Chains A and B, each alone.
Chain A
Amino acid sequence: MSGSPNNLGAFRIKGAGRLTPARTARFTFDGKSYTAMEGDTVASALLAHGVHLVGRSFKYHRPRGILSAGPEEPNALLDVARDSARRQPNVRATVQEVFDGAKIASQNRWPSLAFDVGAVNNLLSPFFAAGFYYKTFMWPREAWSKLYEPIIRRAAGLGVAPKEEDPDHYANRFAHCDVLIAGAGVAGLTAALSAAATGAEVILVDEQPEVGGALHFDASTMIDGQNGYDWAQATAAKLAAMPNVRILTRTTVFGYYNHGFLGLAERVTDHLARPGRDLPRERLWQVRAKRVILATGAIERHMVFANNDRPGIMLASAARTFLNHHGVTVGRKVGVYTAHDSAYEAAFDLKRAGVTIAAIVDSRAKPGEAVVAEAKRLGIEVLTGHAVLDTSGRLRISSMKVARIGSTDSRKIAVDALIVSAGWTPSVHLFSQSRGKLRYDEAQQRFLPDIYAQDCVSVGACNGTDEIAALIDEAAAAGGGTVAIGGESRFAWTGGMIGAAEGAGPDTTVKAFVDFQHDVTAKDIRLAVREGMHSIEHIKRFTTNGMASDQGKLSNMHGLAIAAEMLDRPLPTVGLTTFRAPYTPVTYGTLVSHSRGDLFDPARQTPMHALQAAAGAAFEDVGNWKRAWYFPRRGEDMAVAVNRECRTVREVAGVFDASTLGKIEVVGPDAAKFLNLLYTNAWDTLKPGKSRYGIMTREDGFVYDDGVVGRLAEDRFHVTTTTGGAPRVLHHMEDYLQTEFPDLKVWLTSTTEQWAVIAVQGPKAREIIAPLVEGLDLSNEAFPHMSVAECTVMGVPARLFRMSFTGELGFEVNVPADYGAAVWTAIRERTEALGGCLYGTEAMHVLRAEKGYIIVGQDTDGTVTPDDAGLGWAVSKKKTDFVGIRGLKRPDLMRDGRKQLVGLLTNRPSDVLEEGAQIVADPNQPKPMTMLGHVTSAYWSENCGRSIAMALVAGGRARIGQTLYVPMQDRTIAVEVTDTVFFDKEGGRIHG
């Protein structure tokens, strides 16, 4: 059936369909080569070559074929590749268009599609009943990760994700419109014409490659005197020429969110053989629509009967699409099993195309009279009040077993395909996503839109309006304009059923599939009810009915009806599960768009970043910042480099990039008053030209942030925050300023990125910067520790702080960011000439720990008060108000025995503790041991010649001098509790 490039398939019907034979595409399926016509889906192309078997089912590995011709497809999920990187699993064969060179493979089978070892699951099916996962794999817990999960994943997985990076790119667009119309069938096109006539900005969206909707299969409906499909194409051309209309095909409205916001996925290149490199593969549209018109149509349901899943069994409307649109017949001798008139029209079309119709089996006693008369006229046998009780055929249906309902006399009818219809389910997914409320239409057994939550209207089949003239009127009215369109259908359809058909009822044990993708049978749903699941939400989770990627587009109503019957309750009271976005699966690439690689989480770099990179810095991430971590020289590992940097700072001096510290300019006549309210310290006593270490607590009394604040003038403060805390501290300040203290005259400005900050620390710090600083006496007397001044450095306006986070004589030079690199270079050259060096954040951490300076977020964790951290001195006793004043007086914050920050010295100086390690008093106490606290900071201190650590320990300060223990996996480390200052306890060096 394959082979020659000109062989378009033995099941093509000459003269049928709308594709052009001159334009062909070659593709492979499971390694075998086939020729398709341009416009074929993978499904239609395979069917043209007589290939029905395309996959194995999820749980039982049963052979499966193509069930539908649209996005609702649960079975035909294939792996479609251009090359090794451009490969996508779980692609619906009924949606993917064939392109030249496509490499397509079936999934979920081993070693081959026709012979699959996993099919043994089918024989073991009694063990795979509903709730199987929950029951079988409960115990022991360890077996989950080692045994059950890997086996389940391999046995039950659908498709394999590509391992290579996706080489395609994806785009993202925002759009606004007056009216967005989802679905471009008769209803959507009519609504678009009507809305466009009013001058409204219209976006018309359809998931198929071309407009037309149901007119793809419905070849008998005439509109304005022409074939419906041709009318649709002409109408689309007319709309496309209007400046206020945008038509998006191959585009799915996958999500309908709040306030008229919709997510659309446009497939731009998946159908092209050689897409231009400039084209995105897919495009995400984020549309804000003033109004939404839903014209999403309806989806045909399958019949639920024994062995209803064999390849060759498919929806009647699908068979009609393949014939009328693609020119392909699904078989040579086709059976029909239906409870709805629409399947008759499929039989008529096939019969006229020369296909034998074995029989129409109709479960109803009285089908529509017109279709029965037409069947008779065409010579098709109609068996009313009959059922298909079972089917045969290993890899493809070969016969159906037919009996009168209620009778045991059956006969076998040979068929090579069986088309089915249980009626139509309105597509209310988007309406439901918009939080609209549905009502149950008892007569037609369907849920329809009832109460709208947004400015939205449903028209046509998705609103239960099926008759063509009424549908056109409804859609035209929804558009708001006036259009005159005449439509005429050949047959008015009647009928429909939900739930299990004859022979698959409660008294049977047959496999009658409800959910094909998750292999859920009618029996499974009944079992769930028997085991106590009474809500559809529970039944869904217990059986996994409707939980596959098709979201139960075919199965939900059948499952609900079977559950309602078992529960003996009216169907609406059992409930309908809530539909969620996305309507159909959306690739990660589309959602992520440009936010990948370097753009995933943009990195912030300081003005001196490149210079530090050139100096060989290793960087670490701190928030979004890249910070120089250490500067290894030739032959140095991290430990050696950090030790050298720590030593050099204390012996000579070091230069450090402190630009990432948050900076907020607080200005105004009430600036000091405002800071008094936001910090625990008193600021009105701070004189201009001085700075102070400040602590900010939250209202609950816990430390929120810290930093040095310099007062430049009576009404101007230069506030610094932690690197990670800058945005939230500003937000916190703005909150209080705007909403609690709005009368204060204060203005807040983030200046983090305005200043490059170069810290120079060490005994030679003054000698290094003195020649570069103009107009300022740097002597101890004129510019002591915690001074701040505005001056110039190398002619650049600067703010100079005398401050220290190392315990050494230190300065922080703030210059406008653009001058950072130049000043950095000059300071670095002077420093290195005097024997100093650059140092990074790791050395900074060690040096500050040697002095017991805390890092908020490392030595505190949101449950630490200033006093816990040994900073009680920074809390003003005189102020009558500040944020946290009341929280600090809560009984629990004032009690004895709270965890307090202390130092720890290991008995063996070479032992470096692990940060986060727990601390106990009695290492021999049986488990669970009483834990006193944990290690917050621990380092090797080259300057102390031993390890040092800080820890939060219950009643810590009272334990100074005691020995405590840190139990580790392989040993227990004894530690002595100390104060937190390990180096230069007298603190003289800072004033050097």
Chain B
Amino acid sequence: MLLIHCPYCEHDRSELEFRWAGEAHIARPETIAEISDEAFAEYFFLRDNDKGVTYERWRHIHGCGRFFNAARDTVSDRFLMTYKAGLPKQPVADVAATEQTIETYEQTEGDAR
């Protein structure tokens, strides 16, 4: 069970209190009614689903109720940082340098073949 830091409550709380809410930093186009089919597909349907550091939204649904952003390593499940909604994408290079991505056998098996 993950331990997640809510940037509004400023506390580490159990994953049970949170709900994942999809990839972060995807802004709804201001003139959404006018955008092309391609631009709409890009906005609504397509997600990067990166392996490694990913930016995603979480909501402290059973706490303060606020949505916020998080940078998480999908391989180790480690949270590199969380920050308030509306802030620009925060770099994690400094944090990542001290973290070593741990890959289990099953995750590397595909690469090895």
Taking beta carbons and an 8 Å cutoff, which residues of A are in contact with B? 257-261, 286, 288, 432, 435-437, 451, 453, 535, 537, 575-578, 699-700, 731, 734-735, 738-740, 742, 880-881, 885-887, 889-891
Task: Known A-B contacts: A453-B76, A742-B86. Give 15 more (CB < 8 A).
Answer: A259-B78, A288-B14, A453-B102, A537-B105, A575-B109, A576-B105, A577-B105, A731-B61, A738-B67, A740-B28, A742-B85, A881-B33, A885-B32, A886-B33, A889-B33
Q: Which residues of A contact B104 (CB under 8 A)?
A: 432, 435, 437, 578
Cα distance A889–B39 when bound, in Å? 13
Cα distance A762–B19 when bound, in Å? 43
**Could you give 10 example pairs across A and B, Cβ below 8 Å?**
A258-B1, A258-B78, A261-B2, A735-B59, A738-B67, A739-B86, A886-B32, A887-B44, A889-B33, A891-B37
Q: Which residues of A contact B113 (CB under 8 A)?
A: 535
Taking the nearest CB of chain A, how far is it from the CB of B95, in angstroms? 15
Contact in complex: B33, A700 (CB < 8 Å): no
Cα distance A674–B40 when bound, in Å? 22
Q: Which residues of B contact A535 (CB under 8 A)?
A: 109, 113
Whether, in the assembled complex, B35 has its beta carbon less than 8 Å from a beta carbon of chain A, the answer is: yes
Cα distance A886–B78 when bound, in Å? 37
Q: Which residues of A contact B2 (CB under 8 A)?
A: 258-259, 261
Taking the nearest CB of chain A, how far is it from the CB of B113, in angstroms? 8
Taking the nearest CB of chain B, how far is it from the CB of A877, in angstroms? 12
Contact in complex: A537, B109 (CB < 8 Å): yes
The 8 A CB mask of B72-113 against A (1 = contact, 0 = none) is 000011100000011000000000000010111110010001
Q: Which residues of B contact A576 (CB under 8 A)?
A: 105
Q: Which residues of B contact A537 (CB under 8 A)?
A: 105-106, 109
Contact of B59 among A257, A451, A731 (CB under 8 A): A731
Contact in complex: B44, A699 (CB < 8 Å): yes
Chain A minimum-CB-distance residue to B36: A886
Cα distance A261–B35 when bound, in Å? 46
Q: Which residues of A contact B14 (CB under 8 A)?
A: 288
Q: Which residues of B contact A261 (CB under 8 A)?
A: 1-3
Among A258, A575, A576, A885: residue with most chain B CB under 10 A: A258
Taking the nearest CB of chain B, how far is it from the CB of A888, in angstroms? 10
Taking the nearest CB of chain B, how far is it from the CB of A324, in angstroms? 38
Taking the nearest CB of chain B, how far is it from the CB of A542, in angstroms? 16
Q: Which residues of B contact A739 (CB under 8 A)?
A: 57, 67, 85-86
Taking the nearest CB of chain A, how far is it from the CB of B111, in angstroms? 12
Q: Which residues of B contact A740 (CB under 8 A)?
A: 27-28
Q: Given contacts A261-B3, A535-B109, A887-B44, is CB(A738)–CB(B85) below 8 Å?
A: yes
Q: Which residues of B contact A260 (CB under 8 A)?
A: 3
Chain A minimum-CB-distance residue to B61: A731
Cα distance A346–B82 when bound, in Å? 56
Q: Which residues of A contact B85 (CB under 8 A)?
A: 738-739, 742
Taking the nearest CB of chain A, how far is it from the CB of B14, in angstroms? 8
Chain A minimum-CB-distance residue to B45: A700
Cα distance A437–B101 when bound, in Å? 10
Cα distance A449–B30 when bound, in Å? 52
Taking the nearest CB of chain A, how far is it from the CB of B13, in angstroms? 11
Q: Which residues of A contact B66 (CB under 8 A)?
A: 738
Cα distance A738–B64 when bound, in Å? 12
Cα distance A451–B65 when bound, in Å? 37
Whether, in the assembled complex, B9 has its beta carbon less than 8 Å from a beta carbon of chain A, the answer is: no
Among B21, B44, B100: residue with most chain A CB under 10 A: B44
Q: Which residues of B contact A578 (CB under 8 A)?
A: 104-106
Q: In the complex, how many residues of chain B place their beta carbon closer than 8 angstroms to a beta carbon of chain A?
A: 33
Contact in complex: B21, A735 (CB < 8 Å): yes
Taking the nearest CB of chain A, how far is it from the CB of B31, in angstroms? 8
Taking the nearest CB of chain A, how far is it from the CB of B2, in angstroms? 5
Contact in complex: A451, B33 (CB < 8 Å): no
Q: Which residues of A contact B19 (CB under 8 A)?
A: 731
Contact of B102 among A288, A437, A575, A891 (CB under 8 A): A437
Q: Which residues of A contact B32 (CB under 8 A)?
A: 881, 885-886
Taking the nearest CB of chain B, how far is it from the CB of A255, in angstroms? 10
Taking the nearest CB of chain A, how far is it from the CB of B10, in angstroms? 17
Cα distance A742–B67 when bound, in Å? 11
Chain B minimum-CB-distance residue to A535: B109
4 closest Cβ contacts across the A-B interface? A453-B102, A259-B3, A261-B1, A738-B67
Cα distance A577–B104 when bound, in Å? 9
Among A437, A451, A739, A740: residue with most chain B CB under 10 A: A739
Taking the nearest CB of chain B, how far is it from the CB of A628, in angstroms? 30
Contact of A451 among B21, B28, B102 (CB under 8 A): B102
Contact in complex: A880, B102 (CB < 8 Å): no
Q: Which residues of B contact A731 (CB under 8 A)?
A: 19, 59, 61
Chain B minimum-CB-distance residue to A889: B33
Contact in complex: A258, B40 (CB < 8 Å): no
Q: Which residues of B (20-70) have their CB < 8 Å from a CB of A?
A: 21, 27-28, 32-33, 35, 37, 40, 44, 57, 59, 61, 65-67
Taking the nearest CB of chain A, how far is it from the CB of B97, in angstroms? 15
Taking the nearest CB of chain A, how far is it from the CB of B49, in angstroms? 19
Contact in complex: B76, A435 (CB < 8 Å): yes
Q: Which residues of A contact B103 (CB under 8 A)?
A: 437
Cα distance A286–B3 when bound, in Å? 13
Contact in complex: A436, B105 (CB < 8 Å): no
Cα distance A126–B32 when bound, in Å? 68
Contact in complex: B40, A887 (CB < 8 Å): yes
Among B66, B77, B85, B102: residue with most chain A CB under 10 A: B102
Q: Which residues of A contact B35 (CB under 8 A)?
A: 886
Q: Which residues of A contact B65 (CB under 8 A)?
A: 734
Taking the nearest CB of chain A, how far is it from the CB of B21, in angstroms? 7
Taking the nearest CB of chain B, how far is it from the CB of A254, in angstroms? 14
Q: Given contacts A453-B76, A537-B109, A881-B33, is CB(A735)–CB(B67) below 8 Å?
A: yes
Chain A minimum-CB-distance residue to B33: A885
Cα distance A886–B66 when bound, in Å? 27
Taking the nearest CB of chain A, how far is it from the CB of B1, in angstroms? 5
Chain A minimum-CB-distance residue to B57: A739
Cα distance A451–B76 when bound, in Å? 12
Cα distance A741–B97 when bound, in Å? 36
Cα distance A719–B95 when bound, in Å? 45
Contact in complex: B33, A890 (CB < 8 Å): no
Q: Which residues of B contact A432 (CB under 8 A)?
A: 104
Chain A minimum-CB-distance residue to B41: A890
Cα distance A472–B28 when bound, in Å? 60
Q: Which residues of A contact B57 (CB under 8 A)?
A: 739
Q: Which residues of A contact B40 (CB under 8 A)?
A: 886-887, 890
Cα distance A891–B53 when bound, in Å? 36
Contact of A700 among B44, B86, B100, B106 (CB under 8 A): B44
Taking the nearest CB of chain B, how far is it from the CB of A517, in angstroms? 22
Cα distance A408–B86 when bound, in Å? 80
Taking the nearest CB of chain A, how far is it from the CB of B33, in angstroms? 5
Chain B minimum-CB-distance residue to A891: B37
Contact in complex: B86, A890 (CB < 8 Å): no
Cα distance A714–B77 when bound, in Å? 47
Cα distance A885–B34 when bound, in Å? 10
Q: Given contacts A738-B66, A886-B32, A887-B44, is CB(A575)–CB(B37) below 8 Å?
A: no
Cα distance A818–B55 when bound, in Å? 45
Cα distance A739–B104 when bound, in Å? 36
Contact in complex: A259, B44 (CB < 8 Å): no
Contact in complex: B1, A257 (CB < 8 Å): yes
Taking the nearest CB of chain B, how far is it from the CB of A822, in angstroms? 33
Cα distance A635–B35 when bound, in Å? 63
Taking the nearest CB of chain A, how far is it from the CB of B11, in angstroms? 13
Q: Which residues of B contact A436 (CB under 8 A)?
A: 102
Q: Given contacts A258-B77, A453-B76, is CB(A575)–CB(B105) below 8 Å?
A: yes
Cα distance A437–B32 when bound, in Å? 47
Cα distance A578–B103 when bound, in Å? 11
Among A260, A734, A886: residue with most chain B CB under 10 A: A886
Taking the nearest CB of chain B, how far is it from the CB of A666, in angstroms? 15
Taking the nearest CB of chain A, how far is it from the CB of B38, in angstroms? 12
Taking the nearest CB of chain A, how far is it from the CB of B42, in angstroms? 12
Contact in complex: B100, A451 (CB < 8 Å): yes
Contact in complex: B102, A435 (CB < 8 Å): yes
